[in-house]
Amino acid sequence: MVFAGGPDEVASRILHLHSLLGNDRRILQMDVGGMSQAEVLRSIELLGTEVLPRIRREVG
């Protein structure tokens, strides 16, 4: 499964998957399709600062 888009969309997709499967762990590959190092680092930053806090608020 691919999680792509802005922080809101990615958080929403992860939460949807969580509602279906009930699991609370993901393995994410951040360097997809020839992304530059700067793009990968920005994606990791957004995951930690915007996506995960939203998920934690919803899941608890």
Residue 54 — pLDDT band, cuts 50, 70, 90? very high
Q: What distance in Å separates the CA atoms of residue 28 and residue 12, rounded to the nearest whole number?
A: 16
pLDDT value at 14 more than 90: yes
Structure pTM? 0.84
Query: Percent helix, strand, coil in the chain (nearest 5)?
Result: 65, 0, 35
- Per residue in 16-42, pLDDT (tens digit) is 999 999 887 888 888 888 899 999 999
